[in-house]
Chains A and B, each alone.
Chain A
Amino acid sequence: MHLENLYLANFKNYKEANIDFSKYVNALVGNNGSGKTNLLDAIHFLSMTKSAFNSMDSQSILHNQPFYSIIGKFHQLEKEIAVSNSLTVGKRKKISVDKNPINKAADLIGRFPTVLIAPSDHELISAGGETRRRFIDSIISQFNKTYLIQLIDYNHALKQRNRLLKQFSESGKIDRDILEPYDSILLSLGNNICNMRASFCKKYLSKIVKHYAFLADEKETIGLLYHSSFLQDNYKDVYLTSLQKDIILQRTNIGIHKDDYIFEMDGYPLKKFGSQGQQKSFLIALKLAQFDIIQQEKGFKPILLMDDIFDKLDDHRIQKLTEMIEHHEFGQVFITDARPERTHHFLKKLNIEWKIIAVDNGNLTPQKAS
């Protein structure tokens, strides 16, 4: 699966653009602020229905314009498939695949999977649990639709229950008969989601370990610990006995919406004890392992989006990635760089098809190709 052509209108700093891509390596080069990351984000929109960086869809419309439109032509199983994602101010976002409207995100996510490596990945280590939950959820959702649907339902039930708790707390009256259906949904979906997360983490860890060893040439032991109150045998009791506290705080305190994932190195939290270099290698390993799992589950390679990768990695790690690209471990790859000569130097050595695209203030110009 790869993206053959991308058309943008009024998307972020792109007034209008239309560009063909290489099936293999695409390098986007241009100054800071020219629109390289925006282009990767447009691809992310087509894959995941939304931005990788900004949760407000309307902020992706070019300033002072009434709409944005993104149309991508994917090549999949010998067929061309057009995916479109557009938004008009004040309306609902419209997504379609070959002109057939997609009404639920779950019907698109996973069909054109992507893996994004970006400078903001560091938040996966430094930020709170929500960032890590969202990350892991987005991986599992790309190959397990049941997971995604159950997660959406869980979050909906959670919202309903929290509102009920608020009403109980304000009125001082508790009606257990309305609470009960939500409890049973949260307990049963929560238990399924917890099991799926736990088994995912096992598979995921083995792949992270493999990539870390390859990237870092080091022998630290990597750990990925899954924390969930639902892993305890008595999770139902823990959940149910929290009711009084839930009412006082007006929100549900126990559940898989509080789960976290702890990254470890030699048994200690990576966040506190990992060196800069170790953390960088770990983050790339995390993403490459994501790539492996999606490929394994879907039976084809996701599109790899690498934003400012040269700024983040030293020569040694770049060399490792180059080896992977050359050994055809990836399918279609997008790389951004603000320094054209560096990218050119990198591509020249590559014995695989590549294409350079110059990005200048929202204008795209194909340049050299191998």
Chain B
Amino acid sequence: MQYPSKLIEDAVTEISRLPGIGKKTALRLALHLLKEEESTTGSLSEALINLRQKTKYCKMCHVISDSEDCTCQSIRKDGSIICVVEDTPDVIAIQNTSQFYGYFHVLGGIISPIEGIGPNELHIDSLIDRVKNSDGEIKEVILALSTTMEGDTTCFYIAKKLKPFNVKITTIARGIPIGGELEYTDEITLGRSIVQRLRYDLEGD
């Protein structure tokens, strides 16, 4: 693509590095900013720089927060259970269910050698330390990772590392979505749901 100026070209190059944004969209955004008040671009840049420089991650669970001390600790929580997730959006999703009252542990990704992500790139050691140093207070670790091969591999790896400690390891259930119809469920999910079927108990029995 030909650009009218070097400045626009630089801006387009940078903006189009963002996921989901191609060169054309980037050019449209850059030209849009030029049309707006200068202050608009000023506040955008400031917000972005602040985002990058001032964002803190909780030292313990690696959730994004405003301070390095775990804000999770200030709320009353069940300290015997940790839910391991890939990233911050997963924390928000699980919090929104109002079904989980324990602590979180954000890995920052999942193991995938072809993408250059191994255990050392993730917060796995700190998870092991958390369990080790809790002196038996942590009783259960829930692995709430994607149901992909990479997710499964990461579960396996973590489970292996946690084996020496006396802690129960669980994974989130996989199966038919609520309100979903059997005939439209894909074969793998359906197959797994049959294999890992649940006992059906009548209340009071």
Contacts and interface: CB of A to CB of B under 8 A. Distances in A.
Interface of A: 145-146, 149, 153, 156-157, 159-161, 163-164, 167, 175, 177-178, 180-182, 185
B17 interface: no
Contacts, number: 39
Nearest to B154: A181
Contact of B149 (A146, A160, A175): A160
B112 interface: yes
Contacts of B118: 167, 175, 178
A161 B149 CA distance: 12
Contact of A160 (B112, B156, B157): B112
A182 B114 CA distance: 13
A167 B188 contact: no
B113 A156 contact: no
Given A160-B112, A175-B119, A180 B160 contact: yes
Interface in B142-188: 149-150, 152-153, 156-157, 160-161, 187-188
A185 B119 contact: no
Contacts of A163: 113-114
B160 A177 contact: yes
Contact of A146 (B112, B113, B114, B187): B187
Given A159-B114, A177-B160, A178-B157, 19 more contacts: A145-B187, A149-B187, A149-B188, A157-B149, A160-B112, A160-B153, A161-B113, A163-B113, A163-B114, A167-B113, A175-B119, A177-B161, A178-B111, A180-B160, A181-B152, A181-B153, A181-B156, A182-B153, A185-B149
B114 A178 contact: no
Given A160-B112, A164-B113, A178 B153 contact: yes
A175 to B, nearest CB: 7
A23 to B, nearest CB: 31
Which of B113, B152, B153, B156 has most chain A Cβ within 10 Å? B113
A126 B155 CA distance: 45
A169 to B, nearest CB: 12
Please tell me the size bucket of the interface on B: 10 to 19
Interface string B84-121: 00000000000000000000000000011110001100
Interface in B26-80: none
A316 to B, nearest CB: 46
Given A153-B149, A163-B114, A178 B119 contact: yes
A41 to B, nearest CB: 30
Contacts of B188: 149
A177 B164 CA distance: 14
17 contacts: A146-B187, A157-B149, A159-B114, A160-B149, A160-B153, A163-B113, A164-B113, A167-B113, A175-B118, A177-B160, A177-B161, A178-B118, A178-B119, A178-B157, A181-B152, A181-B153, A182-B153
A156 B119 contact: no
B160 to A, nearest CB: 5
Nearest to A167: B113
B157 A181 contact: yes
Which of A153, A156, A177 has most chain B Cβ within 10 Å? A177
Contacts of B153: 160, 178, 181-182
Nearest to B160: A177
Contacts of B187: 145-146, 149
Nearest to B23: A90
> Which are the 3 A-B pairs with shortest beta-carbon distances?
A163-B113, A181-B156, A181-B153
Contacts of A180: 156, 160
